[in-house]
Amino acid sequence: MEAVITTREIPLWQDRRAIALLMAASLTTMANATIAPALPGLERLFAGDPDAALLTRLLVPAPSLSVAVCAPLAGIAADRIGRRRMLLLGVILFVISGCAGLVLPDLPTIFLSRLVLGVAVALIMTAQTALIGDYFSGEDRNMLTGLQISARNLGGLVFILCAGWLATLSPRLPFAIYGLAAAFLPLMWLVVVDPPRQLPAAGARSAGASDGHRPWRLGLALLVLLQGATNMIFFVMPTQLAFFFAATGRDSAIMTGSALGVLMLTGGAFALLYPRIRRAAGDAGIFALGYGAMALGFLLLMPASAALPTFAAVAAIGAGYALVSPSFVALALDLAPGPRRGLAGGILTASIFIGQFCSPLVSTPLIGAHGYGGLFGGTAALLAAMSVAALSAVGITRLRRR
């Protein structure tokens, strides 16, 4: 039975299923970063709590912990109970747990609501990734994996800007932004359907999907490890950039906001170009380009003392990440058989957030031992080595074709 459940005769941007899945993708960035501008106000609001300083700082990464733990389980459930039910449940839970901070009485209960929000994100991301594999194949699938990175970057930028404005009125108001997800539910309800159940031994398989007897699990495991490492490196930007600017005597608030804005905008723009670049460079080639751009960005950060070189550096890092990130999803969906796409999506989702969570745990001791120059230089060298390895794979592939 064919896992890609229909053949489209309309452009991707007119496909309502694609629009619904991009809406779901935009929610994932909203989960963590939206309340960041409200943290100082929340700390003042709950100043009577002796743990206020710690708890307010844990509110942003709290969903990541839940996603890392729950996403593989959500993947198994998606393959058994269906993607549609999981996606709708995830969005409903997202709205309730996200908006809960508007009314909850204290920081501990708000922190618990953030953990529940992570469960909702795990359900949404896992179902959304599996549905991309179920609905689309070939160039359409590649294009949509790039578009979802753009949706995350550009959606995150809009949500953070709105949250910053609302936080000036009240530290609780940014929690209301999570209610926007309720507006996505009607379209998702109408257009998202589960693919026909597919037996592992079915003879006909979707285009690009791996045969169930091939060693797809080993390939998926390698992709998961590489994606986790990539996200751990990339997350140095949001976790350490403000401290780097403060250490170099620059206005950390203005510079950090501007630099992260450049990071998101560049990432969103280059993710739109992902299908074309992948067609021209191939899978290994796009990893070589992406890791090369990220290496250049970290290298430029080392001597950067003015705004323009700094923005050029973060733009290169954002562009490189936007090129490699969709490839993990595209390759995993090509590897995993249809009945296991939920599991593959769940494990991939977990690796993203595990990498994000581990990033400050690894980078902070390195900064203490070697300074920011040592961290950026070592990261650039590692990324350059990864780019060279990908280039070697390109050369080997070309030799085999001859």
pTM (predicted TM-score): 0.76
Q: Measure Cα distances from 45 to 32, 53, 114, 125, 164 in Å.
A: 20, 11, 18, 32, 17
pLDDT band at residue 214 under the 50/70/90 scheme: low
Mean local confidence (pLDDT), 6-15? 63
Tell which phi-psi region holds residue 223, choosing left (phi > 0), alpha (psi between -120 and 50) or beta.
alpha
Mean local confidence (pLDDT), 89-98? 95
pLDDT tens per residue across span 108-160: 999 999 999 999 999 998 888 888 888 887 777 778 877 888 888 777 778 87
Residue 277 confidence (pLDDT) above 60: yes
Contact indicator for 124, 94 with CB cutoff of 8 Å: yes
Top mean pLDDT of 272-276, 282-286, 312-316, 348-352 is at 312-316
Mean local confidence (pLDDT), 182-199? 83
Contact indicator for 232, 122 with CB cutoff of 8 Å: no
Largest CA distance in the chain: 72
Residue 3 confidence (pLDDT) above 80: no
Q: Higher model confidence: residue 299 or residue 215?
A: 299
Tell me what pLDDT residue 208 has.
40
Top mean pLDDT of 2-11, 27-36, 314-323, 328-337 is at 314-323
Tell me what pLDDT residue 93 has.
96
Top mean pLDDT of 145-154, 159-168, 290-299, 345-354 is at 290-299
pLDDT band at residue 168 under the 50/70/90 scheme: confident
pLDDT band at residue 161 under the 50/70/90 scheme: confident
Mean local confidence (pLDDT), 377-394? 87
Mean local confidence (pLDDT), 23-52? 81
Domains of the chain: 12-195 (1.20.1250.20), 208-402 (1.20.1250.20)
Other C-beta atoms within 10 Å of 399: how many?
8
- % residues pLDDT > 90 (the chain): 24
- % residues pLDDT > 70 (the chain): 87
Give the chain's mean pLDDT: 81
Other C-beta atoms within 10 Å of 354: how many?
21
pLDDT band at residue 49 under the 50/70/90 scheme: confident
Residue 249 confidence (pLDDT) above 60: yes
Residue 70 confidence (pLDDT) above 50: yes
Mean local confidence (pLDDT), 270-279? 83
Residue 34 confidence (pLDDT) above 80: no
Residue 304 confidence (pLDDT) above 80: no
Tell which phi-psi region holds residue 210, choosing left (phi > 0), alpha (psi between -120 and 50) or beta.
beta
Tell me what pLDDT residue 89 has.
94
Top mean pLDDT of 139-148, 149-158, 256-265, 291-300 is at 291-300
